[in-house]
Amino acid sequence: MKNETICQSCGMPIDSEVIKGTEKNGSINNDYCKFCYDDGVFKSPKMNLDEMKNNVKTQMKKLDLHEYTIQKAINILPALKRWKS
C-alpha cells in the first residue's frame, strides 16, 4: 500500500508540494495543507473537531463523493495530530 501523506488537520491527501502549508519564513510545513495552515498559522485557529467534521462533510458533498467515502474521511479526523489530545 502506498504511504500517503494526509493533512493532520483536515485529512486531505497531500500529494503535491504545492498544497502543503507554509511557515512564516516561507518553508514548507509537512503536516498540514495550505487550506488549513498558511504563513505559520492555522487559518481557523478556533475551529474544533466537530466544526472540522462538518467542514469536511460539506466540502466532500460539494464534490459529490459517496457517503461511505465521506464517513471514512470523517472517521480518521480524531486521530490526526491537530485533534489528538
Q: How far is the CB of 40 from Zn ion (least distance, A)?
A: 15
Region from 7-15, 39-47, 50-58, 60-68 binding Zn ion, contact rule CB under 5 A:
7-15
Q: Tell whether residue 36 is a contact of Zn ion (CB under 5 A).
A: yes
Rounded-to-integer distance, Cα 20 and Cα 9, Å = 12
Q: How far is the CB of 29 from Zn ion (least distance, A)?
A: 10
The binder of Zn ion chosen from 20, 33, 53, 77 (CB under 5 A): 33
* DSSP letters spanning the chain: -----B-TTT--B--SGGGEEE-TTSPEEEEEETTTEETTEESSTT--HHHHHHHHHHHHHHTT--HHHHHHHHHHGGGSTTT--
**Cβ-based nearer residue to Zn ion, 33 or 77:** 33
Q: Tell whether residue 77 is a contact of Zn ion (CB under 5 A).
A: no
| Chain positions contacting Zn ion, by CB under 5 A | 7, 9-10, 33, 36
